[in-house]
Amino acid sequence: MTRPRFSRKPALVRLLSVAALFSIILIAIQSSFFTGSRAPVNLDIPILSHFQSNLQQCVANRGLGLTAHIIDHCSVILKFPQGTNSTWYNEQFKIFEPLEYKYDVCEAILLWEQYRNMTTVLTREYLDSRPDGWFDYAAKRIAQLGADKCYNQTLCEEHLNLTLPAKPPFHPRQFRRCAVVGNSGDLLKTQFGEEIDSHDAVIRDNEAPVNERYAKHVGLKRDFRLVVRGAAGNMIKILNGSDDEVLIIKSVIHRDFNAMIKKIRNPVYLFQGIVLRRGAKGTGMKSIELALSMCDIVDIYGFTVDPGYTEWTRYFSTPRKGHNPLQGRAYYQLLECLGVIRIHSPMRAKRKQDWSDVPSREMINNAHRAALHLKEKQAGQEGGLGRFVNCKVWGKSGPYGTGPVSGSTDMTDTRKESNYNRWEIMPFESLREEARKHYMQMEGVSLYKMDGNKLDDLVCVKHPLKSEA
Ligand SMILES: *[C@@H]1O[C@H](CO)[C@@H](O)[C@H](O)[C@H]1NC(C)=O
Ligand SMILES: *[C@@H]1O[C@H](CO)[C@@H](O)[C@H](O)[C@H]1NC(C)=O
Ligand SMILES: *[C@@H]1O[C@H](CO)[C@@H](O)[C@H](O)[C@H]1NC(C)=O
Ligand SMILES: *[C@@H]1O[C@H](CO)[C@@H](O)[C@H](O)[C@H]1NC(C)=O
Ligand SMILES: *[C@@H]1O[C@H](CO)[C@@H](O)[C@H](O)[C@H]1NC(C)=O
């Protein structure tokens, strides 16, 4: 196998692509001039095509053998090299997993850029705003309720109250750089510990241990941990008195969880977001969604993204059977070249600080605008309604930073000392400037995804600004 060749001339590539875009614009302007058309020139497709060629170059430079094949201004196919060994055999369909994957880049930009403005934690205001939020939706988040609806809301509140803040505890743009740390055995081949700890927030997964033994590989900083029910039993041991690490339950609340929560001080919330089955499967995507909803830059460590995997390893235990690795690997590469994540792994360690071939924020914003415009045109709703166009349901809540704070009067003595205040009544002035700006631009509106598979439907909850209160 030949080693992937990394471009050493990113500046030149960028210069050429800027020149290419410029000449496209020039041609477009000229042609409209000659046809005498007064309508504004439609640059959506040239902008997206330009973005696609940048994506292609990025995949060629960073994909460790993956290549991108452009179909049109939105579609692209990511291919593994011929001869890549597909180790995952699908018994049901009697096939090996394919070596190529098709993506709609326009849709992917719209989806992932939207996460930057989303609230991804379940709140009381969400359940109150959504029609049948308590009756229908809350019931789906409780295991062992014994019913598929909340026929008795008090009972449902009893299950959920320990994990349900009144308003969003976290905000878009709250942190600049976040590290999302997966559990791959790959982490033992590198010493990313210090680098991981240098982030503004670190997001970990399930039972990942954090201690001196693994410190040089995975760091010691602990801020957020996404957990599933299966991890509840071990959580007290894993947390080992780290009281401020916020737990975010990925799936459903359960009696086991509630029993455990009473014995720890950590703030605990439930994840809120659609059940995503696009692109890569697995737990990594939820961590990335959570990270994007709070952080400008998302660095990922310990995800199985490099070629050459034959088994699904974890840094702290024996291998488990995992899921289709090639599909996920291609999707992570797409996300990196869409500017959503930055991948760190043994095979990429040498060039970790060179991001010149990943599209710039400005370029992503242009591509996002073009993709949105195209979509609106296709739906016959050009002009839209600005940033609240997808708000299908509106709700109202109290002003920023006002109570009540999570918890209830009948909490255990341990639980009473939980540090919920740190997040829930943080003064507006101590939020990062970018987060404050965003909050004002959004007029104090929090956006939540509706559950289900419709990409665009949002629940929007308005918090009065100080001047309106
Ligand atoms: C794929 O597997 C075969 C048989 O196990 C091996 O001979 C070959 O070298 C592998 N190819 C690559 C690219 O790893
Ligand atoms: C609803 O649930 C609460 C708490 O478990 C219980 O005390 C109450 O009796 C229930 N109400 C009805 C009508 O079943
Ligand atoms: C749940 O918490 C809310 C807000 O603190 C409170 O009003 C409600 O009475 C609680 N419900 C139960 C069943 O404890
Ligand atoms: C738990 O934390 C204590 C103090 O921080 C440390 O000394 C101990 O080694 C930790 N135990 C484990 C199992 O990590
Ligand atoms: C996200 O928020 C910014 C303001 O910070 C706004 O300009 C932009 O239109 C929003 N994008 C989406 C997709 O909601």
Is 158 near ligand 3, meaning CB less than 6 Å away? yes
Q: What is the DSSP string of 14-61?
A: HHHHHHHHHHHHHHHHHHHHHHT--SPP--HHHHHHHHHHHHHHHHHH
pLDDT (tens place) for every residue of the chain, 469 residues total:
344 444 444 454 455 555 555 555 554 444 444 444 444 568 999 999 999 999 999 999 999 889 999 999 999 999 998 888 776 677 777 777 889 999 999 999 999 999 999 999 999 999 999 999 999 999 989 988 888 899 999 999 989 988 999 999 999 999 999 999 999 888 998 999 999 999 999 999 999 999 999 999 999 999 999 998 888 888 999 999 899 999 999 888 888 888 889 889 999 999 987 554 444 455 688 899 999 999 999 999 998 777 766 566 788 876 666 556 788 889 999 999 999 999 998 888 666 678 889 999 999 999 999 999 998 888 877 666 578 888 999 999 999 988 788 876 667 788 888 888 889 888 899 999 999 999 999 999 999 988 655 667 899 999 998 766 5
- Quote the pLDDT of residue 7: 43
Retrieve residue 193's tokens.
């510990």
The number of residues making up the chain comes to: 469
Instruction: Say how far apart CA 357 and CA 207 lie, in whole Å.
Output: 35
The number of CA neighbours under 13 Å toward the Cβ of 339 is: 21
Among the bound ligands, name the one nearest to the CA of residue 153.
Answer: 2
Q: Token pair 């510990």 is at which residue?
A: 193
209 lies in some domain: yes
**Cα–Cα distance for residue pair 367/45, rounded to 1 Å:** 9
User: How many angstroms does the Cα of residue 305 sit away from the middle of ligand 1?
Assistant: 18
Is 158 in the same domain as 284? yes
Look at the block and give the residue holding tokens 């995804």.
Answer: 449
Asked if residue 375 and residue 321 are part of one domain, the reply reads no
Pair 141, 69 in one domain: no
Say how many domains are in the chain.
2
| pLDDT for res 417 | 82
Query: How far apart are the C-alpha atoms of 357 and 371, rounded to whole Å?
Result: 21
Cα–Cα nearest to 298, from 353, 346, 357, 339:
339
- 92 and 121 both lie in a single domain: no
Is residue 374 one of the residues assigned to a domain?
yes
Q: Name the helix (H) or strand (E) containing 268.
A: strand 268-270
- How many of the other CB atoms lie within 10 Å of CB of 384? 14
Neighbours of 347 (CB within 10 A): 16
Q: Is residue 247 part of a domain?
A: yes
Q: How far is the CA of 64 from the centre of ligand 1 (A)?
A: 17
Residue nearest to atom 11 of ligand 3 (CA): 157
Q: Does ligand 3 have an atom closer than 6 angstroms to the CB of 154?
A: yes
Measured distance CA(340)–CA(113) in Å, rounded: 8
Q: How far apart are CA 82 and CA 92, in angstroms?
A: 24
Q: Are residues 338 and 377 in the same domain?
A: no
The pLDDT, as a whole number, for residue 168 is: 96
Distance 151 CA to ligand 2 centre (A): 10
Atom of ligand 1 nearest to the CA of 308: 14
- 248 shares a domain with 375: no
Respond yes or no on whether the N-terminal peptide bond of residue 325 is cis (omega within 30° of 0): no
Tokens of residue 145, six digits: 């309720």
pLDDT at 39: 46
For residue 209, whether the previous peptide bond is cis, meaning omega lies within 30 degrees of 0, is no
User: pLDDT at position 460, please?
Assistant: 96
**CA–CA separation, 16 and 123 (whole Å):** 48
Same domain, 344 and 439: yes
462 CA distance to ligand 5 middle (Å): 15
pLDDT at position 164: 92
To test the pocket of ligand 2, the residue of 142, 155, 255 to mutate (highest count of ligand atoms within 8 Å of its CB) is 155
CB 345 within 8 A of CB 217: no
Give yes or no for a contact between 138 and 150, defined as CB atoms under 8 angstroms apart: yes
Full residue range of the structural domain in which residue 68 is found: 10-114+355-382
- Is there a domain that residue 264 lies in? yes
Distance 85 CA to ligand 1 centre (A): 6
| Mutation pick for ligand 3 pocket among 125, 126, 262, 408 (CB with most ligand atoms within 8 Å) | 408
Residue 409 and residue 394 share a domain: yes
Rounded to the nearest angstrom, the distance between the alpha carbon of 177 and the centre of ligand 1 is 39
Contact 181, 206 (CB under 8 A): no
Q: Which residues contact 233 (CB under 8 A, 6 or more apart)?
A: 256, 260
Whether residue 245 lies inside any domain: the answer is: yes
CB of 92 within 8 A of CB of 104?
A: no
> Does residue 2 form part of some domain?
no
Is 14 inside any structural domain? yes
* Shared-domain flag, residues 52 and 81: yes
**Residue 133: CATH number of its domain:** 3.90.1480.20
Crossing angle of the two packed helices 105-115 and 284-292, in degrees rounded to 10: 60
Query: Are 122 and 243 members of one domain?
Result: yes
Q: Give the pLDDT confidence score for residue 169 in this predicted structure.
A: 95
In a domain, 239, yes or no: yes
Of 364, 382, 400, the last residue of a domain is: 382
Contact 466, 401 (CB under 8 A): no
Determine the distance separating the centroid of ligand 4 and the alpha carbon of 241, expressed in angstroms. 8
Which residue's C-alpha comes closest to atom 7 of ligand 1? 85
Same domain for 220 and 317, yes or no, is yes
Same domain, 306 and 173: yes
183 contacts 303 by C-beta, under 8 angstroms:
no
Lookup result for tokens 């310990």: 302
